[in-house]
Amino acid sequence: MFTRIAGVGSYLPGNPVTNSDLIQRGIDTNDEWIVSRTGIKARHLAEVGCTSSDLALEASRKAIASADIDVSEIDLIIVATSTPDFIFPSTACLLQSKLGNKGAMAFDVQAVCSGFVYALNIAEKYIRTGASKKALVVGAEVFSRILDWEDRATCVLFGDGAGAVILEASEAPGILASVAHADGSQHKILSVPGSICGGKVVGDPFLRMDGQAVFKFAVRVLSELAHECCAISGISTGDIDWLVPHQANIRIIESTSKKLGLSVDKVIVTLDSHGNTSAASIPLALDVAVRDGRIQRGQKILLEGVGGGFTWGAALIEY
């Protein structure tokens, strides 16, 4: 028994905010710096009051429609997010309520930009063991809430959005390999090292990053993940039809595809118009490429993510 993706959906809030728009908002930067270092030209930023569960709801509705199922059939909801609506209840429970689903198991996964592939890894096992029949797996983020808009080295990199998939059991191949890893000793290179205690923020509530350390770590593990998934599935990296990587930075994506000997034409890139949407970036890119017809049923797709923790993971799918 396999786990297959039965439907996909995504959602971006509001209008694109271009690099020039950021300059107009007072950020001391320039389009040439952002585009040449990161590949990002625009991102979407949620209005105040719009939460991760709001974005997740819109993406989920599209995934449910694309899978042609009723919301009552979903028995497992996992939301990958580092920007939950509340400390608790989970964003998954809030999403369940907004969707009008009752009874499904619902919880959040916190693995930052690897969150979606972590959530997929968990849901795949629930489906394959028969514990779940239909799972909704979502990546949803309002990273704009945790950015220090005075720190030009990080605030230009991120955006808000959500992507979702419906998973179901299938006798025909679906997810061929799913792997996930972490190295907590690297927690300082990308973090939001603050918390709430006694009604006050303690520590730093903004995203902090050692960009060069992240770059090196990401390129290494993204190519290792591809080889690991291919070895499990008994295929070579040349058999991959599409690479759908976490959309952090075009230079990380290009270095990874070069290391793997994969042509850039086989890589789905959306970060130019979405920025880095953390846990939402992989399902957002997947949805874009399914809807524009590049990704077709039967093709081999490698989804791979890397993020704070440090965490990394991938899924090789016969779509």
State the catalytic residues. 113, 246, 276
Give the span between the Cα atoms of 182 and 293, in whole angstroms.
34
**36 interacts with ligand ACO by CB under 6 A:** no
**61 interacts with ligand ACO by CB under 6 A:** no
CB of 77 to ligand ACO, least distance (A): 24
Nearer residue to ligand ACO within complex by CB, 31 or 241: 31
Judged by CB under 6 A, which of 76, 104, 113, 230 binds ligand ACO? 113
**20 interacts with ligand ACO by CB under 6 A:** no
**18 interacts with ligand ACO by CB under 6 A:** no
Q: What is the DSSP string of the chain?
A: -EEEEEEEEEE--SSEEEHHHHHHTT----HHHHHHHH---EEE-PPTT--HHHHHHHHHHHHHHHHT--GGG--EEEEE-SS-SSSSS-HHHHHHHHHT--S-EEEEE--GGGHHHHHHHHHHHHHHTTS-SEEEEEEEEEGGGG--TT-HHHHTTB-EEEEEEEEEEESS--EEEEEEEE-GGGGGGEE--EEEETTEEEE--S-EE-HHHHHHHHHHHHHHHHHHHHHHHT--GGG-SEEEE--S-HHHHHHHHHHHT--GGGB---HHHH-B-GGGHHHHHHHHHHHTTSS-TT-EEEEEEEETTTEEEEEEEE-
**219 interacts with ligand ACO by CB under 6 A:** no
Nearer residue to ligand ACO within complex by CB, 121 or 276: 276
**223 interacts with ligand ACO by CB under 6 A:** no
Among positions 251-270, residues that touch ligand ACO (CB under 6 A) are 251-252
**149 interacts with ligand ACO by CB under 6 A:** no
Give the span between the Cα atoms of 74 and 92, in whole angstroms.
12
CB of 32 to ligand ACO, least distance (A): 9
CB of 259 to ligand ACO, least distance (A): 16
Judged by CB under 6 A, which of 57, 111, 117, 214 binds ligand ACO? 214
Rg of the chain taking only CA atoms, in angstroms: 18
Asked if residues 205 and 192 have their Cβ atoms less than 8 Å apart, the reply is: yes
Judged by CB under 6 A, which of 175, 248, 290, 317 binds ligand ACO? 248
Among positions 93-112, residues that touch ligand ACO (CB under 6 A) are none
CB of 306 to ligand ACO, least distance (A): 5
**123 interacts with ligand ACO by CB under 6 A:** no
**212 interacts with ligand ACO by CB under 6 A:** yes
CB of 213 to ligand ACO, least distance (A): 8
The site for ligand ACO (CB under 6 A) is made up of 29-30, 33-34, 37-38, 113, 152-153, 156-157, 190, 209, 211-212, 214-215, 218, 248-249, 251-252, 276, 306-307
